[in-house]
A and B are shown apart, each in its own frame.
Chain A
Amino acid sequence: MGRTISLTVYGRRVEEDVEPRLLLAQFLREQLGLTGTHIGCDTSSCGACTVHIDGEAVKSCTVLAVQADGAEITTIEGLARNGELHPVQRAFYAEHGLQCAYCPPGMIMSAAYLLEQNPNPSEQEVRHGLEGNLCRCTGYHNIVNAVLAAAKG
C-alpha cells in the first residue's frame, strides 16, 4: 500500500505511512489532525487549503503527500510564534476580515506569503495577489484592508 514520508511540520519532525493517492491537504487533516487547513472544492479553485511548503504558499490539494517528502510545511496552526499572532492574523481580527471563517486559514497563509514577497503592496497588488483564494462572506473589502494594515505593521 503506502510508502513512508518524513517531513517537518512547523518545526516538528513527522514520519508517516501514506497512500500514494493521498493529497497533502488530506494528510495534514486526517493523519496529523491539523484540521485548521480546510478543503472547499475539488478543483484547486478556492484556496482554503493553502499552506506554506518550504516557505512558498501552495494549495495543499494540488500536492500529493508523497511529493511533500522532505519538505518543511507551515499550516495556519503554526503561523503564530511563541503565543504571538502573526501580523496578518492580528489584522484579520482588527479589520473584521472574517465572517464564517472557513476561508481565512488559506487566505491568511496566502496573505502572509504575499507580504513576504512584497512587503508594501498597493491595493491592486493585494487584490491580484489573493485571486487564488475565494471568500463568499466578506466581499473581500475587509480582507484587503487587513492585508494593507498588516503591511503597515
Chain B
Amino acid sequence: MATTASDSGIGASVLRKEDAPLITGQGRYVDDIKLPNMAHAAFLRSPHAHAVIRGIDTAAAAAMPGVVDIFTYDTLGLEAGVPCASNPFGNAKQPKRPILADGKVRMVGELVAVVVADTAALARDAADRIVVEYDPLPVVIDAENAGKPDAPQLHEEAPGNHCLTIEHKTEGFDAVFDAAPVKVSLTIDNQRLTAVPIEPRGVVADWISSSGELTFYTSTQVPHFVRTFVSAICGIPEAKVRVVAPDVGGGFGAKIDVYAEEFVLAQVSRLTGRPVKWIETRSEHMVATVAGRDQLQTATLAADESGRMLALRVHLLQDCGAYLALLTPSIAHLTVIMVPGAYALEHVDITLDEVFTNTTPTDAYRGAGRPEAAHLVERLVDRLADELGKDPAEVRRLNFATEFPYTTATGLLYDSGDYAAALDKALELSDYAGFEARRSEAAARGNYRGIGLSTWVEICGLAPSAVTKAIGIGAGGWESAIVRLHPTGSATVVTGSSAHGQGHETSWSQIVESELGIPFDQVDVVHGDTGQSPYGLGTYGSRSLAVGGTALQLTCGKVRDKARLIAAHLLECAADDLEWSGTQWQVKGSPERAKTIQELAYAAWAGDSMPTGVEPNLEATTFYDPPNFTFPFGTHIAEVEIDGETGKVVVERYTAVDDCGNVINPMIVDGQVHGGIAQSIAQALYEETVYDESGQILTGTLVEYMIPSAAELPRFDTARTVTPSPSNPLGVKGIGEAGTIAASAAVVNAAVDALSGIGVRHLEMPMQPGRVWEAIQQAKAGN
C-alpha cells in the first residue's frame, strides 16, 4: 500500500470536511427542497391490521379547496407490487404487496389512498375526510401463533402464513450432540425494533412531461436501487430517471428499502404534472418504515466438561410482518450463517422458519441478522460457563477459532483474526481482574453489580457477486469509483457508495491523498446522485470502505500508472526507471528529475505531448467485485449496576476493543463504534416495538418508543487491535455495525451475572426495571 507521511492521509484522525455546512444550518435534506409549483402528498393509511375494503369515498375530500387530486389503487395506475429482491434458496413465498391497497389491508399503516394538495396541511386535512368502509378480519400479530392451524391467513399464496424454511445441518451432528455430556439451553426473544433515524423518510418527485424525465430526491442509502426500481415499477426508462440522495439524516438499514410511498410519489408527479413532496411523520415512521429483529430463538449448546463447544442446535422463528420488503427473507439467513460466532464449533443443526403476521414488515436494521446471531451465541457461551462454574472469558478463549483462514460449520471462510488478542486487551482495559471488589462495594449499597462479555465476529464487505447470486439476492455486491484529475491539479472522486453520516468525503479524500499525493483539501468527493455517478450499490452492511474504498484505491492506482507513462515520456526515460515518491514520479537515483502528479495532470489535459497510444487526460473508473467477505471482530465488556429496590439497570462502564483491520480515520471509526454500542444498549435496556392483540401499535411515537438520551448512556472506552484483511488491498474490514452486533449480549450477560448470585439465569430484552424487578422477586421467592 502506497502511503505518504502526512497529517491527512490514511491512518490520520482528520476532522471531517463534511461538517462546515452541517453545523451552520446549511445542510440540504429532502425536506429543505422547495420547487416551483410544488404540491404536497399525504397518505390515508389503514387503521386496521387486517380488513377487507368495501368502499372508498373520496368525494368530500376531493371537493376541498386546495386539493389537486386523490388516487386509490383503481386510479393510480401501478399494477406491479412493492419489490422484494431476495429469495435465499428460491423457495420463499413472495405474495404481492400492492402499492396502494387493492381491496384488502394486512397491517396498520398500509397505504389506502394518496391526496395531492397545494400544501401539506391541506393534503392531511383532505386525507382525513376520505371515508373508507372496512370489514375487519381476525388478526395474528406474533410469529408463534401465525403457524397454528386456526390462525388467520394473510395470503392465499402462503398457506399457514409460511414464507420459507432453511435448514443447515452438518454431517454427523446427531452422534456428537447426543453423546455430549453437558447441554445448556436458552429461549430468546430478540425483540422487534424500529430504526428511527432522526430524519424521517421523505421524497420530492419532479416529473417533466415534455422530456419524459423524472428527477427524484429521496432520503435513501441506495439511490441507484431506487432508480432501477422506480423505473421498473413506474415504466419510465431508467436513463430518464435521476435519483438524488441529498444530505441524508441517518438510515440504519431502514433506508435500504425502496418503499411504496416512493413509487406513489413518482406516479402522482406524473399524473398531476407538478413536483410533489412527501415527508414522513414520526408516527408514520413507526408503522410504515421497516422494523428490525423480531426473531424468536431456541437453542441448545452441547459441550464437554472442560467447556469445549461440540455442537449447537438452533431454531429461529423470524417474523416477516405482513409482506416481504426488499431484503426481508435474507436477514434471518444472515443469522443462520453467523450462529457459530467466533468459535471453532464443528457441528450445527440450524432451522429457520419465516412467517407472515399482521405487522409492519421487518428488514435490515443496523447489523441485520448478525446482532441476533451474536446475541444468541454469546448468551449461550455464558450459560455454558455458568453451568460449569468457569470464567466466561476462559470458556471463550478455549473455543476461539485460531487458524485463519477458518472455514465455519456454516460454510463461511473467516479471512483473518486474533480473537484472543482482542479479549486480552479488553480484559485489561476493563480491569476485569479487579471486578469482584466493585461487585462487593455495590452489594454493600444494596445493589447488584455484574460484568459481561461479548466476543463478537461479523460478516462485512458485502459482497462477492457470485455469492449474492447464490444466496438469492437480486443484485451484485460490487462498487464503483471514478477519479478525475483537473488541469489545475485538484481531483474529483465520484463514488457509488452513498454516505449518510459515515464521513465518506473525508475518508475517501484521505485515500486519494495517500495514493496520489493530492492534498486532502484538493479532493472533492461526489456521492448520492445517479446523474453524476456510475452505478453503485450504496451504503449498508458496513461495506462502503471494504468495497467502495477498495474501488477508489484501485482507481488511484490506474491514474498513477497512466501518469507514470506520461512522466517517462516527458522526462525522456523508460517508465521502469521511475519511482513513485508519494507525490511525484521521479527518476531512480535522481529525484530532482521528477514530475509531480499536478504537473502530469496538466500535461495530460494539454494532451500535446502524450506517449504513443496513451489517451489524454487523467481519469479512470473501476467497478470492483470483492473476492470474499471480511470478518471484523472484537471483545466488548459491559459493567452494569442494578438497583436492588427498583430493578433499574444502569451501564456503569463499557469497554470496546474492536478489530476492523487497517483504519483510515480512527476518529470516524470510534464514532461508528460509539453509535453502534448506543443502539445495542438501547435494545438491551429500552427499545421494543409493541402491538396489541388487534394489531394496533402501542409504540407509535417517541413518547412510547424509548430512544435513550445522553442521560441514559455511559462513556465508552474504545481501543483496537489491527489484523488486516487479506480480502482487499487496503486491508480494511468494516466497522459500521460492530457496536450494534456486540453490545446487547455484553449488557445482558452483565445483568444476568449481577443477579446470578440470587439464582437468575436469563433476562429478556429490553431489561426495563419492571421486568428485572420481577426477576429479582421470583429469584428471591425461589431461594
Q: Interface of A with B (CB < 8 Å)?
A: 19, 21, 29, 33-43, 45-46, 48, 75-77, 79-80, 85, 89, 92-94, 96, 98-105, 108, 123, 126-128, 130-144
Contacts and interface: CB of A to CB of B under 8 A. Distances in A.
Interface string B12-52: 00011011101111111101101000000000000000000
Contacts of B282: 40-43, 45-46
Contact of B23 (A38, A85, A126): A85
A33 B34 CA distance: 9
A132 B675 contact: no
A92 B18 CA distance: 12
Contacts of A96: 15-16, 667-668, 670-671
B29 A38 contact: yes
15 contacts: A29-B32, A33-B34, A34-B25, A85-B24, A89-B24, A96-B671, A98-B19, A99-B502, A100-B500, A104-B22, A128-B711, A137-B675, A139-B677, A139-B713, A140-B678
B11 interface: no
Interface string B700-732: 011100010111110110000000000000000
Given A35-B32, A101-B247, A103-B198, A139 B23 contact: no
| Interface size range on B against A | 35 or more
A123 B34 CA distance: 40
Given A134-B198, A140-B709, A93 B23 contact: yes
Contact of B198 (A34, A46, A132, A142): A46
Contacts of B249: 38, 40, 100-103
A42 B250 CA distance: 18
B199 A131 contact: no
Lowest 10 A-B CB distances belong to which pairs?
A36-B25, A102-B249, A100-B501, A139-B678, A101-B22, A45-B702, A99-B501, A139-B674, A76-B25, A140-B710
A39 B30 CA distance: 12
A130 to B, nearest CB: 5
A65 B449 CA distance: 49
Contacts of A77: 24-26
B19 A142 contact: no
A134 B199 CA distance: 11
Query: From DSSP, what is the main secondary structure of chain B's interface residues?
Result: loop
B252 A133 contact: no
Contacts of A85: 23-24
Contacts of A101: 18-19, 22-23, 27, 247, 249, 501
B20 A93 contact: yes
Contacts of A40: 198-200, 249, 282
A94 B14 CA distance: 10
A39 B29 CA distance: 11
A50 B25 CA distance: 12
A43 B671 contact: no
B668 A102 contact: no
Contact of A42 (B18, B31, B281, B677): B281
A42 B739 CA distance: 29
B248 interface: yes
Given A80-B24, A101-B23, 8 more contacts: A35-B31, A45-B702, A46-B707, A100-B199, A102-B249, A127-B709, A140-B709, A141-B715
A135 B667 CA distance: 18
B23 A104 contact: yes
Contact of B709 (A35, A75, A105, A132): A132
Nearest to A103: B198
A24 B252 CA distance: 29
A123 B18 CA distance: 27
A68 B702 CA distance: 26
Nearest to B200: A40
Nearest to A144: B710
A35 B575 CA distance: 54
Contacts of A103: 198, 249
A98 B25 contact: no
Contact of A102 (B250, B707, B712, B713): B250
Nearest to B506: A96
A141 B24 contact: no
Given A21-B121, A92-B19, A134 B709 contact: yes
B283 interface: yes
A109 B252 CA distance: 25
B25 A134 contact: no
A85 B281 CA distance: 32
Q: Name the residue in A42, A46, A132 with the highest tally of chain B Cβ atoms < 10 Å from its Cβ.
A: A42
Contacts of B20: 93
B674 A141 contact: yes
A36 B26 contact: yes
A130 B710 contact: yes
Contacts of A75: 25
A136 B198 contact: yes
B774 to A, nearest CB: 27
Nearest to A93: B19
Given A127-B711, A141-B674, A42 B19 contact: no
B671 A142 contact: yes
A89 B23 contact: yes
A48 B121 contact: no
Contact of A38 (B196, B199, B251, B712): B199
Most chain A CB within a 10 A radius of its CB, from B19, B281, B283, B676: B19
B759 interface: no
B503 interface: yes
Contact of B703 (A38, A45, A128, A132): A45
A79 B22 CA distance: 13
Nearest to B13: A96
Nearest to B668: A96
Contacts of B702: 41, 43, 45-46, 134
B197 interface: yes
B679 A136 contact: yes
Contacts of B250: 99-100, 102, 136-137
B667 A136 contact: no
B66 to A, nearest CB: 12
Interface string B497-530: 0001111000000000000000000000000000
A99 B671 contact: yes
Nearest to A147: B710
A24 B301 CA distance: 57
Given A98-B19, A99-B671, A139-B674, A105 B25 contact: yes
A126 B174 CA distance: 56
Contacts of B701: 41-43, 45
Interface in B274-296: 281-283
A105 B248 CA distance: 15
Interface string B65-103: 000000000000000000000000000000000000000
B716 to A, nearest CB: 5
A51 to B, nearest CB: 10
A99 B23 contact: no
A135 B25 contact: no
Contacts of A105: 25
Interface string B191-209: 0000011111000000000
Contacts of B247: 100-101
A42 B25 contact: no
A139 B707 contact: no
A142 B713 CA distance: 12
A74 B18 CA distance: 24
A134 B258 CA distance: 26
Contact of B503 (A99, A132, A140): A99
Contacts of A131: 709-712
B667 A42 contact: no
A38 B200 CA distance: 11
Nearest to A37: B25
B52 to A, nearest CB: 30
Contacts of A136: 196-198, 250, 252, 675, 679, 707
Contacts of B16: 93, 96
Nearest to B366: A136
A99 B25 CA distance: 14
Contacts of B679: 136, 139
